[in-house]
Structures are given as structure tokens and as C-alpha cells.
Amino acid sequence: MPVFWKWLAVDRKVLISFFLFLLLAGLLGAGYWLGPKLASKGEQVLPVAACDLNLGPCTVELPGGGRLRVEIGPRPIPVLKPLDVRVAFEGFQAEKVLLDFSGVEMDMGFNQVSLKPLGEGRFAGRGNLPVCVTGAMVWQATFMIEGRAGRFGVPFRFITGH
């Protein structure tokens, strides 16, 4: 009998290792299979729009149809002064719009503006940009849009302090 118990003890370690391996493989497989199903659908960031918000309103075609018109004033866009942000959709139903300002060449912290719905596809809000000690600064204004067609970002670039 003593030999049998030694053999069982060795096999118990092997058996536990085998079951742990199977559990880990099962979890990895479930994550691989469920990951795409649980991820939000329709999230994408469009290419940077070829329009300068310092010069006036910009209009962009949206994925799946529709257009977005954005405007930030006053112009040219100043730092440390209130900015009026206006957004209008045509042929697209947006439920939520958030504007994220970020420095392209320098981290300028968290700068977001939540735009309020005005009805008829229009949103508006107020925000401001922090000052950059180096003078001219390249900014990216990304409008993060959520609607029935999904979620996506529409980035624009402009320069302040030049």
C-alpha cells in the first residue's frame, strides 16, 4: 500500500497541474471568442479633417451618411479666453457630443467640453484652451460623437499663438 500512496501523490500533482492548464486555456479561449462580441461596435476615429477651424466653420462627411459642421469662435482661436463651440448634423442623429482638445506636440492635460443638445441636430458648449509657454501650439480638436450608427471621433487641427 505505501507505494500506491506515493504514486497517487505524484499523480495528484500532475492532475492538479493539468486541470489548472485546462482552466487557463479555457479562460484564454473564452476571452478570444467573447472579446469581439463584447467590444463596442462602430467605434472609429476618422482621418484628420483637411480644414482649419481658425479660418471658419468646417464640414465633414460622416461614416454611413450625413454631414457634420463644426465651428469654434472667436477666430483665430485664442488661448485662455472663452470659446463658443457649435456643432450641427445633417442626415445624422447624434445623441451625445464631446469635444476633446489635446496638444499635438505637447501634453496639455485634460481639456474636454461636453456639448448640450439644442434640438434639430444642433449642439453647443463653451470651453477654453490653456496657454502654452512656447508660443505657437498645434492643437487637435476631436469631436467624439455617439449616435445610433455607433461612436466615432472626428479630429481637426489648428494652431494658436502664431
**Residues 26, 55 within the same domain:** no
**Residues 19, 66 within the same domain:** no
**Residues 28, 59 within the same domain:** no
CATH code (residue 149): 2.60.40.1930
**Residues 54, 119 within the same domain:** yes
**Residues 122, 54 within the same domain:** yes
pLDDT on residue 13? 75
pTM summary value: 0.72
pLDDT on residue 79? 87
Q: What are phi and psi of 132, to 5 degrees?
A: -110, 125
pLDDT on residue 4? 56
Confidence of residue 119 (pLDDT cuts 50, 70, 90): very high
Residue 135 or residue 33, greater confidence: 135
**Residues 66, 90 within the same domain:** yes
- Residues 92-110 have a mean pLDDT of 90
Confidence of residue 149 (pLDDT cuts 50, 70, 90): confident
**Residues 25, 50 within the same domain:** no
**Residues 77, 137 within the same domain:** yes
**Residues 35, 72 within the same domain:** no
Number of domains observed in the structure of the chain: 2
**Residues 114, 74 within the same domain:** yes
**Residues 67, 134 within the same domain:** yes
Q: State the Cα–Cα distance between residues 61 and 52, nearest whole angstrom.
A: 16
* Residue range 40-99, pLDDT digits in tens: 455 789 999 999 999 999 999 998 889 999 999 999 999 889 999 999 999 999 999 999
**Sequence-ordered list of residues with C-beta below 8 angstroms from that of 159, at least 6 positions apart, any chain:** 54, 136, 137, 138, 139
pLDDT on residue 8? 53
**Residues 19, 53 within the same domain:** no
Q: Whole domain around residue 30: which residue ranges? A: 1-39
